[in-house]
Amino acid sequence: MPKVLISDKLSEAAVQIFRDRGVEVDFQPTLGKDPAKLAEIIGNYDGLAIRSATKATAEILSKATNLKVIGRAGIGVDNVDIPAASQKGIVVMNTPFGNSITTAEHAIAMMFAVAREIPAADASTRAGKWEKSKFMGVEITGKTLGVIGCGNIGSIVANRALGLKMKVVAYDPFLSAERAQQIGVTKVETVEELLPLADFVTLHLPKTEKTANLLNAERVKLFKKGARLINCARGGLVDEAAVAEALHSGALAGAAFDVFAVEPATENPLFDAPNVVCTPHLGASTGEAQENVALQVAEQMSDYLMDGAVSNALNAPSVTAEEAPLLKPWVEVADMLGGFAGQVTESPVTEIEIEFVGEVGKLNLKPLIASLTAAMLRPIVGEGAVNMVSAPFVARERGMKITETKKDPQGAYGSYMRLIVTTENQTRSVAGTVFSDGKPRFIQIKGIGLEAEPQQFMLYTTNSDTPGYIGALGMKLGDLGVNIATFALGRAAKGEEAIALLGVDAELSKETIAEIAALPQVRQAKALKF
């Protein structure tokens, strides 16, 4: 009988589901706060069900000798070391939609609270002060709400705000014009454009390497005077000290925070600032949402532990036990193609076309399409913000059309996949296959043939086909201390556009990429990670 540990405050409804499905369960809802104890006992379990208090770090996972699945009853998985889990073959699953409405409602509640200073007015009234003239609020009707991150939660918030007769502007680099129109928001192209327009700004994007400190001290200066900021997404998206300073100076009139850079937040620069409303990461805390996510995670984990079925996994494709070995190498190709496209695409994607050429077309294509789409969206929406199941939905929601075609083989490769991505500005393609060693290879980029095995860290350049480029690139990388592991080249025709795809030993910094981009032959240089 598989054994699951629940180490966070999940609804106890989950316990019954596990038992009904034949899974033994230990309900220890405060254990997540005691990493030493968790490390001591984690080796006894096949499954770990958590919320955000348990930190599934590489250290904890190194002790998880029997662990097969981690189930996150909620959305954010920034408390799980996914690469470490993947390395140990542990499937990480979440419940991407179960608490979206509840969290959107919390953001709206926070907006009202900060507009009318309700918490402070409540405390003052109950202290017997009756300070009627002290609390002068603002109306919400007719005001502009700036939504940064317009995915599931952001678009629900926008919908509610429109119902409150607000104007809504949204900044989300991957919100298409069509989707913006459909949900009734005005799309802006930059955070810099949004901030001076909005009376209220609300954040609904994941925290990733790219979004950390998104509202830094410089950007905090761009808010409209007297604006109010709401953060129910993730701590660390905002420079809290800069926001506190703006509140003290009166540049900002209020802030409402549910999430903090350090949690549990027992001290924080915002706590002493005027007109701040704080809640202890309560965004998902309603009976409805907790019931949804607990039931869903228990079902998903039981399905996996009892039948091997995978759903809502962040690091594994959804496949049946029989299909798994046949699909595995092609899932790697799909991940490779999607990951490549997601990292090189710079404007909103409107269409994804996937061609399955030859034998691969006979497989169950759903997990391949989902895997490719998830891999493509991940660099865009953030690790943990999209998974195999949600990817097609997320893509559709963003107005991306996904089509698939099966074709007979042509040319040198008997069976391969080609991804054709159309953005608002251009169409690009990339193709890959499984080699006789069972490993994936890129075989074509932008219609140009080459053969390259994906590496953890890669450099991709497009360049003019002129003599001396390989030498210049090699010299430059050598000067920058970058060791080349693999080197593949291709060109359209003599003297025309050429491409290079290199495997390198370490992650390339922005500075390194800037130096490479400055080489006279280079048109585009990109650091890639697989």
Residues that bind ligand NAD (CB under 6 A): 75-76, 99-100, 103, 148-154, 171-174, 204-207, 210-211, 232-234, 258-259, 281, 283-284, 380-382, 385
Distance between terminal CA atoms of the chain?
Answer: 36
* 3-state DSSP of 46-59: CEEEECCCCCECHH
Closest residue by beta carbon to ligand 3PG: 74
253 binds, among ligand 3PG, ligand NAD, none (CB under 5 to 8 A by kind): none
Residue 426 CB, nearest approach to ligand 3PG (Å)? 34
Give me the catalytic one of 178, 263, 291, 351: 263
Give me the catalytic one of 281, 378, 398, 418: 281
193 vs 263, which CB is nearer to ligand 3PG? 263
7 binds, among ligand 3PG, ligand NAD, none (CB under 5 to 8 A by kind): none
Q: Which amino acid is at 167?
A: K
151 binds, among ligand 3PG, ligand NAD, none (CB under 5 to 8 A by kind): ligand NAD
Beta pairing class for 227-231 and 200-203: parallel
Angstrom CA distances, 379 to 14, 210, 335, stand at 32, 9, 12
Are the beta carbons of 452 and 493 closer than 8 angstroms? no
Q: Which two tokens stand for residue 272?
A: 């002493």
236 vs 283, which CB is nearer to ligand 3PG? 283
Give me the catalytic one of 160, 179, 204, 234: 234
Are the beta carbons of 90 and 50 closer than 8 angstroms? no
84 vs 314, which CB is nearer to ligand NAD? 314
Are the beta carbons of 451 and 336 closer than 8 angstroms? no
191 vs 309, which CB is nearer to ligand NAD? 191
Residue 138 CB, nearest approach to ligand 3PG (Å)? 28
Residue 75 CB, nearest approach to ligand 3PG (Å)? 4
> Is 263 tagged catalytic?
yes
> Is 281 tagged catalytic?
yes
The residue among 344, 352, 364, 462 whose CA lies nearest residue 418 is 352
Neighbours of 189 (CB within 10 A): 10
97 vs 487, which CB is nearer to ligand NAD? 97
Give the binding site for ligand 3PG (CB under 6 A): 51-52, 74-76, 99, 281, 283-285
153 binds, among ligand 3PG, ligand NAD, none (CB under 5 to 8 A by kind): ligand NAD
Q: What are phi and psi of 4, to 5 degrees?
A: -115, 140
Residue 106 CB, nearest approach to ligand 3PG (Å)? 10
76 vs 338, which CB is nearer to ligand 3PG? 76
Alpha-helical segments (H) within 398-530: 469-479, 510-517
> Is 234 tagged catalytic?
yes
Neighbours of 347 (CB within 10 A): 13
Task: Identify how many contiguous H helices and E strands the chain contains and give both numbers.
Answer: 17, 22
433 binds, among ligand 3PG, ligand NAD, none (CB under 5 to 8 A by kind): none
Residue owning tokens 């939504």: 147
Q: Which residues form the catalytic set? A: 234, 263, 281
